[in-house]
Amino acid sequence: MSHAAPRPFSTVRAPALAGRVRVPGDKSISHRALMFGALATGTTRITGLLEGEDVVNTARAVTALGAPALKEGDTWIVKGRGVGGLTEPAGPIDFGNSGTGTRLMMGVIAGHPITTTMTGDASLSKRPMRRVIGPLKLMGLEIAEDRETLPLTLKGSDALIPIVYELPVPSAQVKSAILLAGLHAAGETTVIEKEATRDHTERMLRFFGADIRTELKDGKTHITVKGNAEMTGRDVTVPGDPSSAAFLVCAAILVPGSDVMVEGVLVNETRTGLYTTLQEMGADVTLTNLREEGGEPIADIRARHSALKGVTVPAERAPSMIDEYPVLAAVAAFASGDTVMHGLAELKVKESDRLAATAAGLEANGVKATIDGDTLIVHGTGGKVPGGGTVATHLDHRIAMAFLTMGLASEAPVTVDDTAMIATSFPEFIGLMQQLGAEYRT
């Protein structure tokens, strides 16, 4: 496969940023809205759906399973079939590069007496599915091949057995797959978590009318769903993605004179570690107009230019901000004192080794950074970041966006070696930044 030549791109130091903007919808909630709409009876209308490739593949998947998901104007309409009502697809279902779509859909398919082959691209076909397959097999799912990676042929059942399953490793995707299968089982299915993970599935199942309860016992969370569930089609507004909003908020904090409002952002506490950290650093970031939509907490986030001080970010905060460390590192470059970020092991196995790439990008622009095991220490400049360097992005969209944000306030322009991959997650990034007053040059 041939790739277009990389396109280097530079940020020019920005005047004050100002304005009100909305960011694209949250990916986790977009996937779930389509699937739960398919399992509900009646029609589900979704506004604000993230129309990235991963989510569009989920829309195609539910359509192939007999629950058409089609766009009409700005709204996606899903014609639900009810729990247990999906039908066998005409051919294999291609999930592209979406791990979330694949793992959750295994739970959906498990409760239907149909045979389905799931495929994906080269990258997805290398990713392990064992943690999902194990518990689903206990419930009655059959896998035609003795393997744990795509392509896989699944044979579901309308007589699934409810289970009580303690997650060996924290995973919202595995939890969600089991709960989705549990909707079709006779009796109650319980997932036990030692450490809390994102709870989007539980919130949205409740919103669609499933009988689900969460209890704390002996320091562990027990999530129980009642089988033979009946869910009803709903109107879902997908909130703005907090990981996308992060770049606009951080830009406003860094550029003198800025005042920016990002409207309608998801502020589920399992996703807001960055905003907590920014406030601890002295950033003027406020959550206003708090409300609930689709079972999730939403707010408008106002950010203004601020003087920052270095802080220590505890390891236990990492799960709620794992995607935001590169942009936090860019912000920390402007703080007075050191910012110490603990517990970043997972960053080494993201789209790139994000930990090494972040440190290298800082060093290239005159900011000292130290990696000590799973800890990143950014030695803040107290406000004057030299810039002038070129950052190797390693085809990682978050590295590219983090350093394009840093360059808005650095003394000399910051260049990233490529921006093509930003389109996979946040194609509106450059446009929204320009709308607020940022300038870029190729």
Interhelix angle 53-64/27-39, nearest 10 degrees: 10
Q: 148, 155, 171: which is closest to 111 by C-alpha? A: 155
Question: What is the residue extent of each domain of the chain?
Answer: 9-25+239-441, 27-236
The sheet carrying 368-372 orders its strands as 312-313, 338-341, 375-379, 368-372
Residues (pLDDT < 50) of the chain are: 1-3
Q: What is d(CA 263, CA 20) in angstroms, rounded to the nearest whole number?
A: 7
pLDDT at 353: 85
pLDDT more than 90, % of the chain: 86
Class of the CATH-defined domain 27-236:
alpha beta
Q: The domain 9-25+239-441 belongs to what CATH superfamily?
A: Enolpyruvate transferase domain (3.65.10.10)
Contacts of residue 328, defined as CB under 8 A and 6 or more positions apart, other chains included, come to: 250, 274, 277, 278, 313, 321, 339, 341
Encode 253-286 in three state secondary structure.
HHCCCCEEEEEEEECCCCCCHHHHHHHHCCCEEE
**Judging by DSSP bridges, how do beta strands 235-237 and 284-293 pair with one another?**
unpaired
**Cβ atoms 179, 225 nearer than 8 A:** yes
Amino acid sitting at position 374: D
Per-residue pLDDT of 372-403, as tens digits, reads 999 999 999 999 999 999 999 988 889 999 99
The reported pTM is 0.88
Q: Do domains 9-25+239-441 and 27-236 have the same CATH topology?
A: yes
Provide the annotated active-site residues. Answer: 323
Q: What is d(CA 243, CA 154) in angstroms, rounded to the nearest whole number?
A: 33
Amino acid sitting at position 87: T
Residue with tokens 């993230």: 50
DSSP state of 98: -
Torsion of CA 324, 319, 30, 276, to 10 degrees: -60
Mean pLDDT of the chain: 94
**Judging by DSSP bridges, how do beta strands 18-22 and 115-119 pair with one another?**
unpaired
**Cβ atoms 301, 264 nearer than 8 A:** no
